[in-house]
Each structure stands twice: as structure tokens, then as C-alpha cells.
Structure 1
Amino acid sequence: NLQRISRILCLGQRKLPILIQGNTSVGKTSLIKYLARLSGNHCFRINNHEHTDLQEYIGKYVLQENGELKWQDGLLTKAMRKGYWVILDELNLAPCELLEALNRVLDDNRELFIPETRDRFVAHSKFVLFATQNPPEEYAGRKILSRAFRNRFVELHFDELPHDELEVILHERCRMPPKYAKKIVTVMKELQMFRRESVCFGGKNSFMTMRDLFRWGNRYLV
């Protein structure tokens, strides 16, 4: 996955937007942040939900102590001006008006227009837009993004980590004996099997994720 993203970022001068789809806690956001640190790039994350306001992306006027109104750039605007990376997390939870506002940014000219200030500008050459989402078929409340919208991205799919790799990660990160790490992963595998076979375990909250494994594993250190 790291190599695939790195190759995409090296294609030409224009940085292509990247959409990563995968289950919760497969490392979508963490991998982008790691790559940003490795390459010396600033990286912002915007967590989307059904009530995410466009102002968080674009910006708004803020009242100053002297009573004046001053424009304050949103995270997307700031990243585009300064050449930062921005992660739009859980993109398929965002409101439709927000997705529509992204169309111009995703175009080849990578342009942003701010109606409140009448400012129009092209993104910095180092600006990169990432988006992540969970599979809409498996998680409640997620939209199925249109094919036309998704075609504006380079789309990647992240699979879950193999169980033997999870055992190694638990062993290294939580400093627990390999046999304990193996038992924890075995329990996770059994829960996944129950979830597939029973409607009682439907819904996103029934997933056992890597975060849950780490919380469990960290108890070994206490």
C-alpha cells in the first residue's frame, strides 16, 4: 500500500487526488500521516460526518476583539494555499453540498473559489488531497459516491492485515509473548466468523478492529 501511494505521488507535476477505501482500522489514515512525516509534508485531517459544515473546509468570517470581521481560512483552503496535504476522512459521510463544492478542486486546474471573499486561486503545486471511506455496503449511513465523482480520484482498496502479521504487530507493540498475541487474534477471528453467520452482529459497532486489539493488548502492560 505504501509503495502504491508513493508511485502515484511521483506521477507528473500535478498531484492526483487519492481515494482509499477499506474497513475500519486497516491503516488508511495512519499510512498517509506516516508518509507525510517521512517526506517532510504538513498534513491536516478533516473528520466528516452528516453535519460537517462547509465552513470547516473553506473558512468563515471571525469576529475580532476590536469588533471587526476578519476572514479565516478553513483547513482545505489553508492546505491549498500553502501546499500541505489534507485527508478528508469518512468522505462518504459528508453532506452532498460539501461533495459538490469539491468538484472544482478535483478538476485538472485544481481551483478554489471562495464566494464570501470573491477570491479565486489555484492550489499550490505540493498540495495533495486524500480521502478515505468505509465500504458503504457494510457500514450504515455511508453514501455510495457516484461513479463520475469517484473517477476524479485514483482509487485504492486496502484489505485487512493477515492474521499472522497482526500477531507480530501485537507482539512488538504491546510487548507480549507471541502465544498471547496468537490467542487474541484467534478470538478476533472467531468473532468475525460469528458476525458473518448471524444477523445479531450486524452493523459497524460489531466490528473488532485493530484499535480494539491494541486496547486489549495494552492491558498486558498494566
Structure 2
Amino acid sequence: MPLDGTHKFAADEPVEEPYYLPTGNEISLFEQCHAQKLAVMLKGPTGCGKTRLVEHMAWRLKRPLITIACHDDLAASDLIGRFLIRHNGTEWQDGPLTRAVREGAICYLDEVVEARQDTVVVLHALTDHRRMLPIDKTVETVPAAPGFQLVVSYNPGYQRMLKDMKPSTRQRFVALDLDFPPLEHEAAIVERESGTDPATAHALVSLAQRIRSLRDRGLAEVPSTRLLIATATLARNGIPIHDACYAGLVSPLSDDESLVGAMRDLVDATFI
């Protein structure tokens, strides 16, 4: 994996299909957006499958995938590129966004609102009819190669309290609303990804749905499908189910004694 935190699936590499179980028409919508050269915004809670959907679609569309984890210190130069000092002078190095534009890759910006607003602005020319990336430092305008698509994600519930995306940016994307799957779907995902038995997967998802109801009592983040898979993996490999739930599900969610106590009670009621 490159040092900038990105990764890609090359179109000619035999990559195994990333498992994704659709709950609606998100796959057909994504395919149409790609065909019509439309940028996509994935909205949904942490761990509901946004990243896995992008990985699955990159495999399905046979496009390279470049993923960028956004954060407060992400500068425009981190996306576009910069001049590097070599022993024989300076050399320009493309950033992950520029590579995606040149290669016709799917570029996925995870939790895009974590990036600074002046950084997000560089995406605008790629999300309208221009489909090009201006690079001021090299006095170059890079047209998007065929197959390029910009995809961003964020968690509306979490960001509403902290940050949000400017309307001028939001309206450049087709938005796909994702959520945790229905019980049977989520249980199938947990079973498939962890290798646990169907009864344990079903019980863990039922437990998660009860814990998710604690959001109104101050739980900032609810248990994700990702946490359920981790918990099921621990249990499948010999950790007692109560201990697996405490370590893999309860403790990562909160340090508040009353909330932790309530979640532990739910664990004990689920796995008697």
C-alpha cells in the first residue's frame, strides 16, 4: 500500500469479488451514475457498508479503485500532488486524486467532510460537465480519463453535530442513502464474513438492534455491522460469547458507566 494511505484494485488483476449484500437498488443506481459520469455521495452511519459497496462496485465495473481517508490536515496538495526535491533537482509527483483522474479510476474519499473546505473545493471541476482537474503548480489541466468516477461518503448523524458539507458541494453529487440492513440480511452478512454459526449471527444482530435503541439515551455511535463481525470472529475462535461481546461490541462504543452497564445487561439477557 502506498505511503499516502491509498490503495487500488488494478482492472487487470484477478481480484476476488468483495462480498456485498444489497438491501435496495443501490447497485443499479451506482451503475447508472458511473455510466452517465455522475459523482456519487454515500450517506449512512459508520460501519453500514459504504466502503464495501464502493469496493464491490469497483470490482463489478472492472475499474481501479483509489481510496483516500479524509482528515483535518488533508490539504489540496495531498490530493493533487507536489514537487519533491531529488538529488538532481525537483520532480513532480501526482497525488492520489490526480492518479485516479489520469487512469480512469474510481476515486473514493471516505468521510469527506473531515477534510478542510478549501481542500474540498478542488473537487468541483471534476463533478460537473468539465470533468477536469486544474493543477496550478504545473500549469496543467488534466481531463478525466474514461471510467473516472468520484465517490464520497459521510455519516450525516455524526456530522450534523460537528461539520457538514456546503450546499454548493452537496448538489454536485447523486446521493445514495444507506443504513444498517434488515435483521436477516445483517445476520447473513455477519455469518458470511466471520464464519460463525447462523444462531450466533442472528443473536448478535438482535442484540445490536436493541443497543441501537440507546442512541436516544446518549450513545454517540451505535454498533456497526463491522463490530458485529469482529465480535462474532472472537467468539468463533474460542472467546466466550459474553467476553467477546464486552470486548468487541460494548467497550468500543462508550466509556460512560451507565451506558456500558445498560449494554452489558442487554448482552446478558441475549446470551443467557
Cα shift readout 1:104-161 (whole Å, capped 9, x = no counterpart): 22231112111111112221122111111110x4347652222222111111111221
- For the residue of structure 2 that corresponds to 1:166, the secondary structure is helix
In the TM superposition, 1:51-70 aligns within 5 A as 51-64=73-86, 66-70=87-91
**How many aligned positions are there?**
212
Counterpart residue number, 1:159: 179
Q: What TM-score results when the alignment is normalised by the length of structure 2?
A: 0.73
Counterpart residue number, 1:29: 51
| Maintained 8 Å contact 2:187/2:201 | yes
- For the residue of structure 1 that corresponds to 2:158, the secondary structure is coil
- Of all paired residues, the percent bearing the same amino acid is 25
Q: Which amino acid aligns with 2:165?
A: L
**Unpaired segments of 5 or more residues in structure 1?**
none
1:176 and 2:196 matched: yes
Q: Which amino acid aligns with 1:213?
A: L
In the TM superposition, 1:1-222 aligns within 5 A as 1-11=26-36, 15-64=37-86, 66-135=87-156, 137-139=157-159, 142-196=162-216, 198-199=217-218, 201=219, 203=220, 206-222=221-237
Cα distance in 1, alignment partners of residues 149 and 98 from structure 2: 12
Cα shift readout 1:181-219 (whole Å, capped 9, x = no counterpart): 2221122122111222x12x2x2xx32111110110001
Q: What TM-score results when the alignment is normalised by the length of structure 1?
A: 0.89
The CA RMSD over aligned residues, in Å, is 1.7
Q: Which structure's relative contact order is higher, taking Cα pairs within 8 Å and 6+ residues apart?
A: 1
Q: Which amino acid aligns with 1:129?
A: L
Cα shift readout 1:46-68 (whole Å, capped 9, x = no counterpart): 1111111211110001122x241
**Unpaired segments of 5 or more residues in structure 2?**
1-25, 238-272
| Maintained 8 Å contact 1:17/1:130 | yes
- For the residue of structure 2 that corresponds to 1:220, the secondary structure is helix
| Maintained 8 Å contact 1:92/1:142 | no
Comparing 142-151 with 27-36, greater Cα deviation is found at 142-151
